[in-house]
Structure 1
Amino acid sequence: MEGIIAIWQRDLMKFFRDRARLFGSFTMPILFLLIFGGGMSGTMEAMMTGSMPGEADRFNYVEFVFPGIVAMTLLMTSVFSAMSVIEDKDFGYMKEILVSPISRVSIAVGKMLGAASVATIQGVLLFILIPLLGLSYNLKALVQVIPFMFLLACALSGLGLLFASLIRSTQGFQLTVQILVMPMIFLSGALFPVSNMPAWMDVIVKINPVTYGVDIMKKVMIDTENLSATVLDAMGLNITLFGRQITIFEEMLFIIIFTIVLVLLATVSFKRANA
């Protein structure tokens, strides 16, 4: 545990000392909020509620997309934070850790927790924009969603760790991750519903952990009790698998299993890379 905590604390200290990284993390989410939330909200609301007379005024696209923007921040921060593994290899810090009595599992878990904590902090900081956007999320819901955000960030950090353990250069890591990140964002329901996708694309949607993280966050943050089933279907909040609707517990279980598998794979990769 001491090794895990030490690695965890190191990544957190690096984050808080890097002010450019702290403020730069807001750039992409704000850009997406301006484009999708401000510029395209009217068009998206008309498209999603066009066949629902009388329901359009009950649907707020900015309220729908904000949890997706937060999830996008978690994804990008979690995965790109794993690039520190490659930097640690270049500067020799990783070799020092690997020759210490700390187990490979502890190293992977410590790096995962560090990246997940940084991503969660950046996601929570986006809550500052809620009053500026005129949104009215319940304070209790915002507090309740934070553990789910951390869980999703752990899963995505595990994914980043796996790639960082396999790739030797930062340039190769950035290129590979960029190819991976954008499809995960657009095929997750973060920016628009993914309920009417082609069969082959629907498979990708269902194995994408961000899909379940976004769905949980939207169900927790959005007041779904006052929305009709038609509106919920239009928002894509009724994810089904094999003909049955998936519960929040099942979505959490999928994310937990995904996290464990990726951490184990990253651990094995660490052992092979440094055997």
Structure 2
Amino acid sequence: MFEFKLKFKTFNGLIALYIRECKLWLGLKYVIASSLLIPLLYFFLLGTGMGEMIQTSFIGNIDYILFLTPGIIAMGTTSIAMSSGHILFNERRFWGMYEEMLTLPVSRSAYLLSKILWVMTLSMGQLLFILLVGIPLVEGGFYCANLFLVLLSILLGAICFCSLIMPIASLIKSAAAFYGITGFISLPIILCSSAFYPLDTTPHWLRMIAYINPMTYMVDVMRAGFTGLWDQWILLKILILCVFTVFFFAIGVISLKKVRF
């Protein structure tokens, strides 16, 4: 009975923290607007601009717009996770809100989960924008072969990248160092993956980096969901993405527990 009450209290605490996170972000309407619109701009400008230049034979005989869409959504998820890390850093270093959160009867892992839930929420908003606005305008209709794989990749990617930024946001004390590190790692994560181009046509050294990049597996799983085309390695890619997700989530929880004031 006591264990059930404890779990119920933890769940209620998680919901309360998630609602708090939503209210915090809703006060930053310009950030939400840019998070939803920038992927759409990438979709139209990069997709239509480069679509005519790239031969479909290089990308599995599919339209470049459909090839690019998972990369844009994955990039958006990463950007939202980075922004969530920026808010955690400000809460911890400048606003004093993280110390107040520690007085609540909830675990620090619940705090991390509340941020992950928000990243997932905004990522779903990006997905809806592209599915209901972007693809119909360019392709002439709704197109998504396997929605389950798309949602699964967003779920795992949100957990993975939000957890990845937490150790940096929770342990680094210098604002200059924090923004410098996050700016330095975000670009390679996006570019050293299969987000914008097939890895088969890239140099060997770039492929090796991409194979240890969780975004590669997030994009590949999502691309399989969008196009309905996947190879015999799709289950292995899902498993590898799950391993990355569990690893970074554990690191994120441990880093939050080590925060001292």
Change (3 A) 1:246 1:223: closer
Task: Determine the C-alpha separation between the residues in 2 that align with 1:184 and 1:85.
Answer: 21
Q: 2: CA distance between counterparts of 1:165 and 1:82?
A: 8
The counterpart of 1:201, out of the listed 199, 206, 215, is 206
**1:115 paired residue among 113, 116, 119:** 119
Are positions 1:147 and 2:152 aligned together? yes
Q: Secondary structure at the match of 1:43?
A: coil
Kept in 2: contact 1:74–1:149 (CA 8 A): yes
Task: Quickly say closer, same or farther: Cα 1:83–1:130, change in 2 above 3 A.
Answer: same
Q: Which moved more, 1:256-265 or 1:207-216?
A: 256-265
Q: Which runs of 5+ in 1 are unaligned?
A: 50-54, 225-236, 239-244
How many angstroms does 1:125 deviate by? 2.5
CA change 1:133–1:188 in 2 (3 A) is same
1:94 aligned partner: 98
Question: Structure 1 residue 17: deviation in Å?
Answer: 4.0
| Residue pair 1:71, 1:123 contacting (<8 A) in 2 also | no
SS of corresponding position for 2:194: coil
One-letter amino acid matched to 2:189: M
Query: Contact 1:155–1:259 (CA<8 Å) still a contact in 2?
Result: yes
Query: What letter is aligned with 2:90?
Result: E
Write the letter of the residue equivalent to 2:123.
Answer: A
Contact 1:189 1:215 in 2 (8 A): yes
SS for the counterpart of 2:193 is: coil
In the alignment, the residues of structure 2 paired with residue 124 and residue 118 of structure 1 have an alpha-carbon distance, to the nearest angstrom, of 10
Q: Secondary structure at the match of 1:184?
A: helix
- How far apart, in 1, do the equivalents of 2:142 and 2:221 lie? 15
The structure-2 alpha-carbon separation of the partners of 1:180 and 1:124, relative to structure 1 and needing over 3 Å to count, comes to farther
Residue 169 (structure 1) shift: 4.4
Distance 1:81 1:18, change over 3 A: same
Matches within 5 A, 1:212-227: 212-224=217-229
Name the residue aligned to 2:32.
22
Residue deviations 1:46-101 (CA, integer Å, cap 9, x gap): 7837xxxxx9xx53111211121111111111222221111211211100122333
Alpha-carbon distance in 1 for matches of 2:101, 2:233: 41
* Aligned-partner Cα distance in 1 for 2:64–2:109: 42
3-state secondary structure, aligned to 1:273: coil
Please give the secondary structure, in 2, of the residue aligned with 1:274.
Answer: coil
- How do residues 145-184 of structure 1 correspond to structure 2 at under 5 angstroms? 145-184=150-189
Q: 1: CA distance between counterparts of 2:127 and 2:172?
A: 27
Residue 102 of structure 1 aligns to which amino acid in structure 2?
V
Conserved 8 A contact 1:137-1:222: no
Deviation at 1:210, TM superposition (A): 0.8
1:69 pairs with 2:72: yes
Please name the residue that 2:43 is paired with.
33
Give, in whole Å, the separation in 1 of the partners of 2:16 and 2:223: 34
Aligned residues: 249
Following the alignment from structure 1 to structure 2, what is the Cα–Cα distance between the partners of residues 124 and 155? 21
The two structures have a TM-score, normalised by structure 1, of 0.79
Does 2:257 match 1:268?
Answer: no
User: What is the TM-score normalised by the length of structure 2?
Assistant: 0.83
Among 78, 85, 106, the alignment partner of 2:81 is 78
Task: Measure the CA separation in 1 of the matches of 2:260 and 2:35.
Answer: 32
Greater shift in the superposed pair: 204-213 or 168-177: 168-177
- Give, in angstroms, the shift of residue 252 of structure 1: 2.4
Structure 1 match to 2:233: 246
Counterpart CA distance in 2 for 1:157 and 1:267 is 11
Indicate if the aligned counterparts of 1:9 and 1:114 stay in contact, CA closer than 8 A: no
CA distance in 2, matches of 1:141, 1:251: 16
How far apart, CA to CA, are the structure 1 residues paired with 2:84 and 2:255? 18
1:79-137 per-position Cα deviation (integer Å, ceiling 9, x unaligned) = 22221111211211100122333222222222222333333333333322111122545
Distance in structure 2 (CA, Å) of the matches to 1:177 and 1:39:
29
Q: CA RMSD in A?
A: 2.6
Instruction: Quote the Cα distance in structure 2 between the aligned partners of 1:91 and 1:67.
Output: 35
